[in-house]
Structure 1
Amino acid sequence: MARALLIQLFTFTILLIVQSSPSTSLLLRPPHGGPRQSMLLPLFLSPPNPRRHLQRSDPQTHPNARMGLYDDLLRNGYYTTRLWIGTPPQMFALIVDTGSTVTYVPCSTCEQCGRHQDPKFEPELSSTYKPLQCNLDCNCDSEKVHCVYDRQYAEMSSSSGVLAEDVLSFGNLSELQPQRAVFGCENQETGDLYSQRADGIMGLGRGDLSIVDQLVEKGLISDSFSLCYGGMDIGGGAMVLGGISPPIDMVFTQSDPVRSPYYNIDLKEIHVAGKPLMLNPIVFDGRHGTVLDSGTTYAYFPEPVFIAFKDAIMKELNSIQKIRGPDPNFNDICFSGAGSDVSELSKTFPVVDMVFGNGQKLSLSPENYLFRHSKVRGAYCLGIFQNGKDPTTLLGGIIVRNTLVMYDREHSKIGFWKTNCSELWERLQISGAPPQMPSAPDREPPPTTAPTQVPDHVLPGELQIKQITCDMLLNVSYPNLKPHITELAEFIAYDLGINSSQVRLMNFTPNGNDSLIRLAIFPAGSSDYFSNATANSIIAQFAEHHVQLPATFGSYQLVGWNIEPLEKRTWWQQNYLVVFLAVVVTIIIGLSAFGMWFIWRHRQQMLNAYKPVNAAVPEQELQPI
């Protein structure tokens, strides 16, 4: 499947609601350098919702939904959030996609749906489920009974089903109460939609069926939402449905809703190491312009932009070795010898600046345009590719790693703020925001309303964590797992998005086909501790089975975990080396002093016991005869 973005407008019948919006647009990269597949921008385009009444609003006067993001962009090609549908709620992992409008999940009636992360939605178990009846405002099924939707994609994957209404819940840390909304109950899916691990799509695009549009239309949230993807070392992130007060140093660019049905930005220049690429600004305005798409993994430039960018990067990196990419099917541009510490990459790779029409610029660090080479340590590859012959500039999730992106639709602009997305709530200092990243509530038993309980694997309070210990029961096909322990640790580190040096085997107990292993996970580099949010993310990935191991390692079960908080260690524990040295020195000094005293004492005793021959002694009085 071609990796470049090919947006082709075919003529076919699409069953969808009037004035619907673009469908999902994903460019996926499976883990460990496997073959890359593409879910491309949709074949059908339509104008934005004309019925929305745009009014200025204060984000503080509206509630918002604060939701966690999970998975890793380069492992699965997307980020998911948790959404609960029905009464009682049924949980689903949905890809957050700004290039799609319909939110849909597999239905229990689906005979052609893949095996995904969670069970299919069962309408019969929800007391609030109601399919939309056929009417003049929707396309109907062949019996003219229900409204239906149909989504087709350029690489021939598809999703179709019934449009229905039910109660949607946004998680236990959301201020927004459960709301009735329209979603798609899938009856058929093909292609990548069939094979992906995620359950479905959460549509954040413009259009009547978009979850954002529905909440705005009801006056429940301000017309804005935000996404924050984790970085190269740590996955996860955060999402906010509704408005938030922008940080004072947030960089904004205009986003014209009439220019394209996608979220576009006003890009004018790209600088590499402070030097502008010699390009006409009009090159960034071809076809759909410069599109920001949360469902796309990498970035795709028009041919002249890509060539100029690649040449500029190569010129800056003439001192390090160019190597082959991890996948022989692709001619990736990769470099070795940069080291494994992400924080040190800026010493080797140049800063890239994106300059907008208003003169403001967004600076990209190396993690915003590189991905790790999966087979060579300390090697990285360009995550920016040529977009075939299409003049559209497509910016995927890699561009905005560790960047809060605010889609301020009310004011037709998009904001960028460089930050650590795993600690977003603390950095934004949102009033009433939780001190840890939100995590999915326990799956069993399902809550009867919007989830309100914090799951067992969410750490309370604000902790500084020195070490995380996980006990895993592993069902393996290897007759002897021990020789493969190092390989296992590397796979776990890769899926967690950390360095393999941070994962250490503490104990290994074989038991037939099962093996009980204890792993310790340590902070990276010179850091003394994990933040509370980072530890939550790591534990959640184990607890919710987001760590995906090769089939030879079989399945695993997290049977226990423990943390060692930094602040709970005593002064003696934290300074044990100093204490140990002080004790040793004290003992040595003490032994030396005792030895000197012992020698002196012994000498004195010897002096008292020994009298020389010529010693002067008083004469004895002669005794009479």
Structure 2
Amino acid sequence: MARAPFATVTVAVSIILLSFAVESCLSIMHQNLMINTNYTPLILNHGLDTTTTTMFMPLYFNDSNKFVNSASKHSRRHLQTRRRPNARMPLHDDLLINGYYTTRLWIGTPPQRFALIVDTGSTVTYVPCATCEQCGKHQDPKFQPDLSSTYQPVKCNIDCSCDNDRKQCTYERQYAEMSSSSGVLGEDIVSFGKQSELSPQRAVFGCENMETGDLYSQHADGIMGLGHGDLSIVDQLVDKGVISDSFSLCYGGMDVGGGAMVLGGIIPPSDMVFARSDPDRSPYYNIDLKEIHVAGKVLPLSPKVFDGKHGTVLDSGTTYAYLPESAFAAFKDAIIKEVHSLKQIKGPDPNYNDICFSGSSSDNLQLSETFPSVDMVFSNGQKLSMSPENYLFRHSKVRGAYCLGIFQNGKDPTTLLGGIVVRNTLVTYDREHEKIGFWKTNCSELWERLHMSTSPPPLPTSSNTTNTTTDMAPSEPPQYDIPGVIKIGIITFYMSVSVKYSDLKPHISELAKFISKELAVNVSQVHLMNFMSKGNDSLIRWAIFPPESDDYIANATAMDIIARLNENRVHLPDSFGSYKLFQWNIEPPPVRTWWQQHLVVIVSISVVMIVLGLLASGLWFLWRRNKQSLVSYKPVDSAVPEQELQPI
């Protein structure tokens, strides 16, 4: 079932700017507080774990004629990027019977459970609302806002369409198969199941008042929107800083179903293959597909055939795959040529002209002995090797018969790759680095194959409804000594900009992204350290940190960054005015003792014990008065085997 809604910079620095910066810093240091109204500090967390505290301390002018952070040695541990928690969530259902995969999401206090289709082609997460008069009968009861003590309607504002009667923001989505959903927007606590190490978070979602088409008749309750957009559950969690800008899906195989999902980053397997994904190419997740090989032979097609309209799109909510006319014809002919020993038969549904073959083994594990391998080759030369279960579905009426699950996309030049293409494949949507990774694996054993612990931390009770993240204090990755190479922990530099604070502030994230591209690093490595402004000029101190998985910057990478800074090979758009980069500095990674690594945890435990002791009686009283608000979260059901139609 398709779920794809179609909807010349002058380099100069002013002596006056440096003077006021020095005078201000000296004044601040004497006061030990940055309270001078002429200098406004901007405290931001760019790519930082929000469980840590970013410390902004006085700057002073040293004998080396450099600006130096007086707290640089003490605060570095707090500024380092740590691994953020992720939400591990099982997937249920299958492609053949249901046409989709679902996950379980809990909304409200106490939590109400919903089975939602995981959909990379949608940007809104929504569930049927208790007020809905045109909603079908689904797997779980409708959401009842009145029963949630933490629910809040999203009030009308200039950024949304408005229901004037309710004074509440509305949403409306229409899909390619002519179904639709509309309703109002609300905000509540959302939690992700017992396997998640991510604590419950507040999020905006849709409360449906009307469904049509397949959305009305489907068994699943609603949609989990994983696409690009302000209302996407991924964007909301990333904007809060609680997960890294990535998520992964792993669909089960032909006879298994189920699978797994991760909201947040994972350490990619060493043999994962990647394709570039350009967010500016289309509103959907796309890859730069260049060739398709069948049995090792390239199809006689121009690479441009896979770049029509929206390009090559991955849509987790679409069941099958759809190729442009010429690509489908070439693919079909190549498959038929390779399976000439099999008999071509009619499909199970007379309404469709399916291309099916009989005479193969009924054991899908042996399909590769009869059907050819298919490779999708990306522009970087890497390729995704597909087994027969990634382009075939089982014939429901003839044992040992299979049909092509790849079809012609009408006259639409878009290449659309649905769930069938990624059966038993871990797909990582690494939005931060603008790439999508593929790793062939058994999705029913994903946690073990990724070497992830199967013993998740305990899930907070529903009384924990504050918008916080859990300080997991994960283990640090090991450091490897490289003889003769100096380890560089942080590279800092200053930027003077002829733009006043109020105009520059809304564009800091955009500026960080440009800097990351110019220095050829990930945007999560670019951190704003200090920001001061006077009149129409601003002075910014930036830092380049190691990637999330490392404790130091690779020597070659560090030298390249320094060369780009020294040679002024950093070019920003004219909208940022006149600017100059200067006074770069390198610092080694900090050496941490055991006590330094665990100090935050030790102090946190002590504080928690004291607070619990002081508040125990009060919490007991509140619990007795409001038992229902402390209901524990229900466990997530185990994945069920794929229930395909039995042959007759």
What TM-score bracket applies, with the shorter chain setting the length? 0.5 to 0.7
Query: Could you tell me how far apart the structure 1 residues matched to 2:147 and 2:159 are?
Result: 28
- 1:56/1:341 CA distance change after superposition, 3 Å: farther
Alignment match, 1:215: 237
Specify the code of the residue in structure 2 equivalent to 1:343: L
Per the alignment, residue 520 of structure 1 pairs with: none
Q: Tell me, yes or no, if the aligned pair for 1:325 and 1:333 is still in contact at 8 Å.
A: yes
User: How far does residue 41 in structure 1 lie from its aligned partner after superposition?
Assistant: 2.5
Give the drift of 1:192.
1.0
Partner AA of 2:195 in structure 1: L
Match for residue 115 of structure 1 among 137, 142, 161? 137
| Distance across 1 between alignment mates of 2:176 and 2:638 | 40
Greater CA drift, 363-372 or 53-62: 53-62
How far does the alpha carbon of each residue in 1:96-146 deviate from its partner, in whole angstroms, 9 at most, with x for none?
Answer: 000001000000100000000111001111001111111112110133711
Number of residue-to-residue matches in the alignment: 414
Q: CA deviation at 1:450?
A: 8.7
- Give how far 1:280 is off: 0.4
How many angstroms does 1:54 deviate by?
A: 7.7
User: In the superposition, relative to structure 1, how do residues 370 and 59 fare at CA in structure 2: closer, same or farther (>3 Å)?
Assistant: farther
Within 5 Å, which residues of 2 pair with 1:421-570?
Answer: 421-430=443-452, 432-434=453-455, 454=635, 496-497=643-644
Of the three residues 436, 441, 448, the one matched with 1:414 is 436
- Quote the residue 1:339 is aligned against: 361
How far apart, in 1, do the equivalents of 2:420 and 2:647 lie?
Answer: 22
Partner of 1:257: 279
Which one-letter code corresponds to 2:6 in the other structure? L
1:287 matches 2:309: yes
Cα distance change on mapping 1:141 and 1:289 into 2, 3 Å: same
- Letter of the 1:244 partner, please give it: I
Partner of 1:87: 109
Equivalent of 2:6 in 43, 54, 69: 43
Cα distance, 1:496 vs structure 2: 2.9
User: Is the CA contact 1:89–1:448 (under 8 Å) kept in the aligned structure 2?
Assistant: no
Partner amino acid, structure 1, of 2:116: L
Distance in 2 (CA, whole Å) between partners of 1:59 and 1:193 is 41
Structure 2 equivalent of residue 527 of structure 1: none
Higher relative contact order by CA 8 Å / sep ≥ 6: 1 or 2?
Answer: 2
| Structure-1-length-normalised TM-score | 0.63
In structure 2, the CA distance between the partners of 1:178 and 1:40, relative to structure 1 (3 Å rule), is: closer
How far has the Cα of 1:191 moved from its partner?
Answer: 1.0
1:158 Cα deviation from its structure 2 partner: 1.2
Identify if the C-alpha distance between structure 1 residues 451 and 336 changes in structure 2 by more than 3 Å, giving closer, same or farther.
farther
- C-alpha deviation, 1:61, in angstroms: 1.3
Distance across 2 between alignment mates of 1:242 and 1:339: 39
Task: Mark the runs of 5 or more structure 2 residues left unpaired by the alignment.
Answer: 8-43, 50-79, 463-626
| 1:396 maps to which of 408, 418, 421 | 418
Of 131, 145, 156, which aligns to 2:178? Answer: 156
**Corresponding residue number in structure 1 for 2:389:** 367
CA gap 1:77/1:60 in 2 versus in 1, 3 angstroms:
farther
8 A contact 2:320–2:418 mirrored in 1: yes
Cα drift, residue 354 of structure 1:
0.3
CA separation in 1, counterparts of 2:48 and 2:146? 41
In the TM superposition, 1:125-136 aligns within 5 A as 125-136=147-158
Please name the residue that 2:84 is paired with: 62
Tell me how far 1:269 sits from its aligned partner: 0.2
**Which whole-Å deviations, capped at 9, do the CAs of 1:19-52 have from their partners, x for residues lacking one?**
xxxxxxxx2xxxxxxxxxxx453231xxxxxxx9
Matches within 5 A, 1:156-305: 156-305=178-327
Contact 1:284 / 1:290 at 8 angstroms: preserved in 2?
Answer: yes
- Return closer, same or farther for 1:450/1:281 CA change in 2, 3 Å cut-off: farther
Q: Give the conservation status (yes or no) of the 8 Å contact 1:169–1:451.
A: no
Q: 1 CA distance for matches of 2:173 and 2:310?
A: 20
Residues 40 and 429 (structure 1 numbering): CA distance in 2 closer, same or farther, change over 3 Å? closer
Please give the root-mean-square deviation of Cα atoms over the aligned residues, in Å. Answer: 2.6
CA distance in 2, matches of 1:237, 1:171: 15
| SS of alignment partner, residue 162 of structure 2 | coil
Q: Which sections of structure 1, spanning at least 5 residues, go unmatched?
A: 1-26, 28-38, 45-51, 460-491, 502-625
